[in-house]
Amino acid sequence: MNGAPDSTGVECMIMRGGTSKGAYFLSDQLPTDPSERDNLLLAIMGTPDPRQIDGIGGAHPLTSKVAIVGLSNNLDADVEYLFLQIGVEETTVSDRQNCGNLLAGVGPFSVERGLVTGSGTTTAVRVHMLNTDSIATASFAIVDGRPVYAGDVAISGVPGTASPVRLDFEGIAGSSCGALLPTGNITDELDGVQCTLIDNGMPVVVMRADALGVSGHETCADLEANTSLTERLEHIRHQAGFLMNLGDVADTTVPKLTLVAPPRHGGHLSTRTFIPHRCHEAIGVLGAVSVATAALLTGSPASQVITDDDRETISIEHPTGTFEAAVGMSTGSDGLPTIERAGIIRTTRKLMDGTVYPSQSQPR
């Protein structure tokens, strides 16, 4: 369709993907013009409003997300997936990053909508992630041709258990910045702080928390209330944007910022991640992959807080639990790190399937 008047509903499925929640749409049921599409999504989500009370957004960046899915033109993939981060209080729609959490729902959504036929007991859906032009394979259980959501796998930040979705990534290193280490360095100094600027699926600035005068074990609320910290982090983020080939990032959601510290609960390291202005109650999927990769780089801030030598699978502590990311890395002939594989386990669940109606009011 070419567009949807405000009075017309749009088919929508709301799914929890990992530790995020978002609205999933078929690409051919949204306007083809990006500006018209974005305006429609803002009206659907209830932006701008801190409560998103007149829409289906959840009043937080982690629950104000959209996945747009359709059949792929890429011969190496079954479906294509565009992630859009919808602002909450600001009328912004960003495609500058992937979302690995919502990615967990893309395969099951594709089966639910008939884009992919589920067969056997397990289905693997190859997903072309349009934001970064890379491929992920989502593998999940199927019964009678339908996705299985109930299971016994628990992930931190989500109550209860669910059926696992395995995500295996291909070609995500440098997908936004052009290189795994866009400056060519394991560490760079920004505002007097040693940082690793890294992009293994998500651009992230990794720093030791104690270099910024905090422990890295504070609550998100305490960190967000520390205005001297948040102002300094934003200053570092602006500098990093140019160094990471992202340009002026003042109005974008990347790069993310992760503070690392020694672990306290049996993991390899502890993290607090800003996304970029709110402190994440957990850690994003691809952000975790980038942080885990940084931990494998000798001399990086992340490697400095780890004492365990068995580091191929990194257990990352975050405010609500732990996240495990498996990263295989070797050293190329040029002496630079080469990513061989990256994979994680997530869960997803269909929450609602129906028709959503955009607000007809004008933002004030």
- Whether 296 shows a pLDDT value over 90: the answer reads yes
Average pLDDT of the segment spanning 233-250? 97
Which pLDDT tens digit goes with each residue over 150-173?
A: 999 999 989 999 999 999 999 899
Judge contact between 122 and 141, C-beta under 8 A: yes
The residue with greater pLDDT, 340 or 151, is 151
| pLDDT above 50: residue 1 | no
Average pLDDT, the chain: 94
Tens of pLDDT, residue by residue over 84-102, are: 999 999 999 999 889 999 9
Phi then psi dihedrals of residue 154, to 5 deg: -105, 140
Mean pLDDT of 249-274: 95
Q: Residue 246: CB partners within 8 Å, gap ≥ 6? A: 96, 176, 177, 203, 240, 252, 254, 255
Q: How many helices and strands, by DSSP H and E, does the chain display?
A: 6, 17
pLDDT at 160: 96
- What is the residue extent of each domain of the chain? 10-172+348-356, 188-335
Place of tokens 């807080």: 305
The total number of residues written for the chain in this structure: 364
pLDDT of residue 363: 60
Q: Which CATH superfamily is domain 188-335 in?
A: Diaminopimelate Epimerase; Chain A, domain 1 (3.10.310.10)
Predicted confidence band at 332 (pLDDT cuts at 50, 70, 90)? Answer: confident
Q: Which DSSP string corresponds to 143-160?
A: ETTEE----SB--TTSSS
Give the lowest-confidence range in 38-52, 143-157, 303-317. Answer: 303-317
Give, in order, the Cα–Cα distances in Å from 28 to each of 2, 11, 80, 315: 9, 11, 12, 39
Confidence at 362, pLDDT banded by 50, 70, 90:
low
Structure tokens at 219: 């609550």
The more confidently predicted of residues 308 and 280 is 280
Three-state secondary structure call for residue 101: helix
pLDDT tens, position by position, 51-77: 999 999 999 999 999 999 999 999 999
Q: Residue 2: count other Cβ atoms within 10 Å of its Cβ.
A: 7
Which of 287, 233, 228 is CA-nearest to residue 62?
287
| CATH code for the part of the protein at 10-172+348-356 | 3.10.310.10
**Torsion, CA 77, CA 78, CA 80, CA 81, rounded to 10:** -110
* pLDDT at position 301 over 80: yes
